[in-house]
Amino acid sequence: MVGPQVRAPGGQSRRPRLIFRRLFEPKLAQASYLIGCPATRRAVVVDPNRDIDRYLQTARDESLRITDVTETHIHADFVSGARELAQRSGARLHLSQAGDPEWGYRYPSDDGVCWLEDGSAIELGRIELRVLHVPGHTPEHLAFLVSDREKGGEPMGALTGDFVFVGDVGRPDLLERAVQAKGTMERAARQLFQSLQKFRSLQDYLQLWPGHGAGSACGKSLSAVPQSTLGFEKRFNWAFGVADETEFVRAVLAGQPEPPPYFARMKQINQVGPDLLGNRSPPPRQSLERLASVLADGGVVVDTREPDNFGRASIPGTINIPANRSFTNWAGSLLPYDQDLYLVGDDRTGMIDRLTQDLAGIGLERLAGYFPAGIIDEWRNSRRSLQRIPAVTVDELARGFRQNGSVVIDVRGEGEWKVGHLPGSLNLPLSQLDQRLEHIPRDSPLVVHCQTGPRAAIGASLLLARGFPDVRLFPGGFAEWRAAGHVVEVQ
């Protein structure tokens, strides 16, 4: 980021040559960028998410006008805010026309899109963003080389989107594994290798500003460091160290985590252009009677309290997805897009408004209302029964869970399970749990665990909501089991 203005000799203030702001969304581990030219007061926003007010406010804070909006590629992990921001600010919308047309943008013609291809440029007075087509993560993917033409026009940095991260590169398997485009991931991996060879010819001092950090599912080993240089990545990023294309293809496809189920829907929404949200009203507060009615009709009610509170007392039929940094990921993976949704949460802290924005950010727009956290006491006081999820200790699990016929369910990913798991456990990854309920016996006690507890708590609540009568939680998870020295199986 650009720091405070400096004083030139003679006491005159010297304006910054470029205004650069990184706007990071922790729940998505996603970075957007606003770049402005002080001379023209024009700005471009790259890779905006759907919370567009933050970009408009940042531009106002810097006395800039957003005149251009663009993105590096068709995103899979969040709904793009590019169309909405361009409409609200009156800016030109720039999108990639590079790559395979089958997987390209299909925006309405009346959106007036300015199409970009390799070598195109977005100009903001003396600041220029030059387009570099770098397919691999997606066929249409672009990087933007940022230059100050008064400094000779050489690029000072690159907005790399999901092409090059700090320590990793974007996964090339999403079209095949998330969108079910069979036979595309090896070709994409080879394209990614070729893009890296083209990119590595640029100057080592080039700063790299990626679109994601640690916590994103768009790669497998992303660093939490917000930026790097090309020279540093050439030395320490594994992908630049593989000289053979066939070996690179094997390495980049190995060990990629399962993509969240909602990625396919994000691709579809962003390919055709997201609906405009506009100024929507906040979800209305609902009554105890409405809660009883929604649950009786099989509606979806998400309790956003912490797992410990939910486990001690919760309303039967509700699902626990805590309002933490993982809320967006698990909401997108577990909640339906074609039904009304209701939340249970603290309405005194602005939480409901934040969660509404989070849900809209991944396309879950059917939020019909919310119930305050105090609804739990109201439910109890109305002589309705509450449920609880008993916790099982590591010693109890080791001593006697098989004696009563309990089934241990491991909701970690398949890759985690293969490298070590409890003997005899059943692996049902949390993101797939709702689709694989037929594999779970309904007449046996169930003990749910993950690595350290959070995923298991969500999974246990889901099983209770689906009518399994005896569900327990092993909160210590596989980490505690292994630390205690108990037997571990490897697949």
DSSP string, 263-296: HHHHHHHHHH-PPP--SPPPPPB--HHHHHHHHH
Nearest Cα residue to 221 out of 487, 403, 29: 29
How many C-beta neighbours within 10 Å does residue 89 have?
19
Residue 11: how many CA atoms within 13 Å on its side-chain side?
0
Query: DSSP string of 34-72?
Result: EEEETTTTEEEEES-BS-THHHHHHHHHTT-EEEEEE-S
Encoded amino acid at 425, one letter: S
Strand pairing partners for 302?
319, 343
As annotated, the active-site residues are 450
Closest CA to 331 of 278, 250, 265: 265
Q: What is the sign of the dihedral through the CA atoms of 421, 424, 427 and 428?
A: negative
Question: What is the bridge-based pairing of β-strands 341-345 and 367-372?
Answer: parallel
Is the C-alpha dihedral spanning 178, 184, 186, 192 positive or negative? negative
CA atoms within 13 A on the CB side of 484: 17
Q: Are 21 and 58 in contact (CB under 8 A)?
A: yes
Is there a contact between 440 and 468 (Cβ–Cβ < 8 Å)? yes
**DSSP β-ladder status, 127-133 and 142-148:** antiparallel
DSSP letter for 434, please: G
Tokens read off for 170: 């974007």
